[in-house]
Amino acid sequence: MTMIFGVPLAVFMGQLLLGLINGAFYALLSLGLAVIFGLLKIVNFAHGAMYMLGAFATLLGMRYLGINYWAALFLAPLAVGLFGMVIERVLLRRIGHLDHLYGLLLTFGLALIFEGSLVNFFGVSGARYPTPELLQGGYQTGFMFLPKYRAWVLLAAVVVCFATWYMIERTRLGAYLRAGTENPALMQAFGVNVPLLVTLTYGFGVALAAFAGVLAAPLYPVSPTMGSNLLIVVFAVVVIGGMGSILGAIVTGLAMGLIEGLTKVYYPEAANTVIFLVMILVLLLRPAGLFGKEA
């Protein structure tokens, strides 16, 4: 059997794939955080809760409304996105003029509310969501077994990430968004409806999180606390990459997932913490982050 540094190739590749999938989730979530931060200057602490709501919308949609996975892939982000827009309109808008730390605190409060309420109804143990029929089973490649669903998650996440990148960097709407990030007052003066843009941006950002939640539903147990622990890792990813660059967020997310996967192969005790250690290293060597410009 082929070995890589004393580890069987199949195990090595399997962990690498798991790492990449984690990385895809990091990328989707940090991308949403970066998009929201760009325009609202708010670090959305409710992002993990939105991811969790996406997964729950999928689970409950199937249980009570008979919505299948493929429909949920569109409906759950839509529902959560609309919910996010309401939150932006009703709550976040009121504190837009304040220190941005208040945005972090407000969304933290929201995360506590969503998470804590759902814990009361569903407990913390989590429910299973079946893998859609079309994606059951897997491919036997020469060196490893590749489950179809995992391949799909990776593909879907990467496609959505790059579609987002394309939209922001190459389309007219994206140009508005980038201009709004630079100077919202001037945009408003040019006749662009900036408040609407802000609402849509927040909705879009949390919809990305919800999309990640739908992808995660068949992979991980769907539980109210699934988002918060993930979010803290994503914060570290964001510190590593810096929130200034869309592509930076995607690349850093995937890379951190890979590093985590590799650590699981060679030193499993540190798998939980390796991303935080990378963050410390980055803070020491390049305090502004890999892709960041210090404001």
Partner 1 sequence: MATTQTLTPSMKRERRASLRRNVFYLVLIAIGLVAPFVAYPVFLMKVLCFALFACAFNLLLGYAGLLSFGHAAFLATGGYVTGYLLASYPALTPELGMLIGTAAAVVLGAIFGALSIRRQGIYFAMVTLALAQLVFFFYIQAPFTGGEDGLHGVPRGHLLGIVDLRSNLAMYYFVFAVFLFGFALIQRTVHSPFGQVLKAIRENEPRAVSLGYNVDAYKLVAFILSAGLAGLAGSTKTVVFQLASLTDAHWHMSGEVILMTLLGGVGTLFGPVVGAGLVVSLQHLLAQSPLGNWVGPILGVIFVICVLSFRSGIVGEAMKMYRKNFK
> What backbone torsions phi and psi does residue 3 show, to the nearest 5 degrees?
-120, 145
CB of 136 to partner 1, least distance (A): 34
Sign of the CA dihedral with 40 first, then 89, 52, and 166 last? negative
Three-state secondary structure call for residue 143: coil
DSSP bridge partners of 147? 138
Q: Within a 13 Å sphere around the CA of 116, how many CA atoms are in the beta-carbon half?
A: 6
Nearest to 205 by CA among 42, 48, 52, 33: 33
CB 132 within 8 A of CB 62: no
Q: Which of the ranges 101-109, 132-140, 168-176, 245-253 carries the binding residues for partner 1, by CB under 8 A?
A: 101-109
Size of interface with partner 1, in residues (CB under 8 A): 42
Mark residues 213-252: x for contact with partner 1 by CB under 8 A, - for none. ---------------x---xx-xx-xx-------------
Q: Which stretch binds partner 1 (CB under 8 A): 8-16, 35-43, 56-64, 70-78?
A: 35-43
- Among residues 25, 70, 31, the alpha carbon closest in space to that of 52 is found at 25
In the window 108-147, what residues touch partner 1 (CB under 8 A)?
A: 108-113, 115-117, 119-120
User: 93: which DSSP letter?
Assistant: G
Alpha carbon separation from 18 to 15, 50, 278, 294 (Å, rounded): 5, 23, 19, 33
Contact 270, 220 (CB under 8 A): no
Range in contact with partner 1 (rule: CB under 8 A) among 24-32, 127-135, 196-204, 280-288:
280-288
Binder of partner 1 out of 105, 124, 134, 196 (CB under 8 A): 105
CB of 194 to partner 1, least distance (A): 21
Cβ within 8 Å of residue 37, ≥6 positions away:
43, 44, 243
Task: Supply the minimum distance, in Å, between the C-beta of residue 206 and partner 1.
Answer: 17
CB of 45 to partner 1, least distance (A): 9
With contacts defined by CB under 8 A, name the span among 1-9, 213-221, 254-262, 275-283 that binds partner 1. Answer: 275-283
Minimum Å gap between C-beta 272 and partner 1 is: 5
Binding site for partner 1 (CB under 8 A): 37, 41, 43, 91, 94-95, 98, 100-102, 104-106, 108-113, 115-117, 119-120, 228, 232-233, 235-236, 238-239, 269, 272-273, 276-277, 279-280, 283-284, 287, 295
